[in-house]
A and B are shown apart, each in its own frame.
Chain A
Amino acid sequence: MKAYAAIASRQFQDALQYRGNYVLGMLSGLALVLAMFFFWRAGFEGRASIAGYGWAQTKTYLLIGYLAGNLVAFSAEARLSSRIRRGSIACDLLLPVDFQGARLCETLGDVAAQGLPALVVTVAVGIAFAGVLPPSGPAAAAGAAIALLLGVVLKSAIVYAAALLCFWTTNFVGISWARAALTNLLSGALIPLSFFPAGVAAALRWLPFAGITDTPARIYLGQLTGPGAVGAVALEAAWTVVLLLVGRGIWRAATAELNVHGG
């Protein structure tokens, strides 16, 4: 256990050192958020709400979605795939730690140093200056925090499983794009899930991706409370476990016939 704590804390210190890079990455992503804001504001022209969401709620939902998506930085994915492609994974396998566990600890170190502070600061600034809504209550704030953290593990599990495909293909960029497009669309980061037709929205909420954005955002806004919120978080937890296991399965298949790249 101490080994994993050491890995997480090492990554935490690393990430602190590279906070500048992270902020730069966030700022460039901000262009996308602004584009989305203007797009949806045009959508709200002349009407008070879409699918029960006012403009302030939509804004809040999208901001949380954007930040939640950024909690697990792109660097986690790039780091893992480059290890596989360059073959330095051979050295990781010399360490007496579970590979998936170690990667998850690295992600948590990153999140604690970069993603979480960025999220708290951005939401606070948004509430103070940009008409973003505060959490609907203390219970909603706590629930959203739990759902967000669980979402971090969930997204890490997805990223991990996707990046392992680099064992079979050298096209990391393709995998990464497909993974990101799928996660963004199906989690609600681009379009709040409630804006989809009711049946589609309900179906999407059974998928794992909703746990990354939609569940924490709706708990935060107070749209998901009590048993509904508990159920959504439980589903999110179940998906997290399933995807972690899927990652282990892919790992086993990969290392069974694995050719560690290079000589």
Chain B
Amino acid sequence: MPAIEASGLCKVYRRPVRAPGIGGALRQLVRPRHEDITAVDGVDLRIEAGEAVGYVGPNGAGKSTTIKLLTGILRPSGGTVRVLGRDPHRERLANARDIAATFGANRSQLHWDLPLRESLALQRDIYGVPEARYRENLRLCADILGVDAFLGAPVRQLSQGQRVRAELTSALVHDPKILYLDEPTVGLDVAVKERLRAFLRDLHRGRGMTIVLTSHDLPDIEDVCERLIMIDRARILYDGSLREVRDRFARERVLRFQVRRPGEPAAEDVVAGCGPVAARWEGDALVVSFDRTLAAAAGVTAQVLQKLDVVDLHMDEAGIEDVVRRVYEGRLDLREAERP
């Protein structure tokens, strides 16, 4: 049985459309008008227990809505979802015992005015977690996330980064089997991001937790997940191995040689014989780009150093970020590209 299974999943929101002003308000009262917004459109998913999946897409693509459907918060307008064999909306209470989710810092399960410790204790009591287990879970979060430093502070006094860590700690109190994280790193500084990713990696690899993570910060996903799902405008564009995407589509390497006397000889002549590489002059630099599986940076560099008076050297490697950007800009269709 897969941990999560969805087929033809749809969610249509109805939103009242109202002309501006009092007239609009009155008209809306007499004859309400609505527009339908399809936030999730025919999504098929199959996620096995123990997988870590990154859900990527631009703003408004339908990521949060998908998470809300999978957690049972929203009822699908069409299609079916099963989570650990249950319908998460109809069997919400049973499903809630097995899952946890965080929705960024302003959607909180934590009591604003209470010391964090008390919010966590309430969570423990609601789920009936045995005291020993509770302490163990808390210790884990204290060790890696450092939450023990602010257990006594009211949640409203916590910084954004502290609050995200607090949310995560609260979500883990009852040992969920599946953890959904909606944009967990928004607004965090680099150090906290790093910590959080390390922690998630540990949950996934060490404890075998199933993780579904949405983000538009791709390094989050590269660090934690093996599988990538890209969505845009409510539909899935790609679903597959993250490494495969990187290996197949993120191969470009760019070398930038800053030289003392730019412009000559012709760029092609400098790299002649290096294999399938492209070169051009850009200001005071010679820019050479090539597929890293077809040419080696070492060979190219050796030849350029021989022919030019190089002052400085810089290398850029295409990441998954470029691939995703190319896909969203419509310059790359992964499904097309996959076909032989």
Taking Cβ atoms with an 8 Å cutoff, the residues of A that contact B are 2-3, 5-7, 10, 14, 17, 87-88, 90-98, 255-260, 262-263
Contacts and interface: CB of A to CB of B under 8 A. Distances in A.
A96 B75 contact: no
A98 B73 CA distance: 13
Contacts of B172: none
B64 interface: yes
Given A14-B114, A90-B103, A94-B109, A3 B74 contact: no
A-B interface, 10 closest residue pairs, ranked by CB to CB distance from nearest: A6-B125, A96-B96, A3-B126, A91-B109, A93-B73, A96-B93, A96-B97, A259-B13, A10-B122, A90-B73
19 contacts: A2-B125, A3-B125, A5-B125, A10-B111, A10-B122, A90-B68, A90-B103, A92-B109, A94-B71, A95-B126, A96-B93, A98-B93, A255-B89, A256-B75, A257-B14, A257-B75, A258-B75, A260-B74, A262-B107
Given A260-B73, A260-B74, A7 B108 contact: no
Contacts of B261: none
A88 B104 CA distance: 11
Contacts of B73: 90, 93-94, 260
B111 to A, nearest CB: 7
A6 B126 contact: yes
Contacts of B330: none
Contact of B100 (A7, A93, A94, A256): A94
Given A94-B109, A262-B107, 12 more contacts: A6-B122, A91-B109, A93-B72, A93-B73, A93-B96, A94-B100, A94-B101, A95-B96, A96-B127, A98-B93, A257-B14, A260-B68
B206 interface: no
B126 A96 contact: yes
B207 interface: no
B113 interface: yes
Interface residues of B, number: 33
Contacts of B97: 96
B92 A7 contact: no
B72 to A, nearest CB: 7
A3 B174 CA distance: 13
B133 to A, nearest CB: 15
Contacts of B64: 263
Contacts of A88: 107-108
Contacts of B75: 255-258
A89 B33 CA distance: 26
Contact of A97 (B74, B101, B126): B126
A92 B96 CA distance: 10
A7 B126 contact: yes
B122 A94 contact: no
A259 B15 contact: yes
Contacts of A256: 75
Nearest to A257: B14
B94 interface: yes
B13 A94 contact: no
A192 B14 CA distance: 45
A3 B118 CA distance: 15
A258 B74 CA distance: 7
B127 A3 contact: yes
B93 to A, nearest CB: 5
B23 interface: no
Contacts of B74: 258, 260
Nearest to B123: A95
Contacts of A17: 113
A262 B64 CA distance: 10
> Which among B71, B109, B126 has the highest number of chain A CB atoms within 10 Å?
B126
Contacts of A95: 96, 109, 126
A14 B14 CA distance: 37
A203 to B, nearest CB: 31
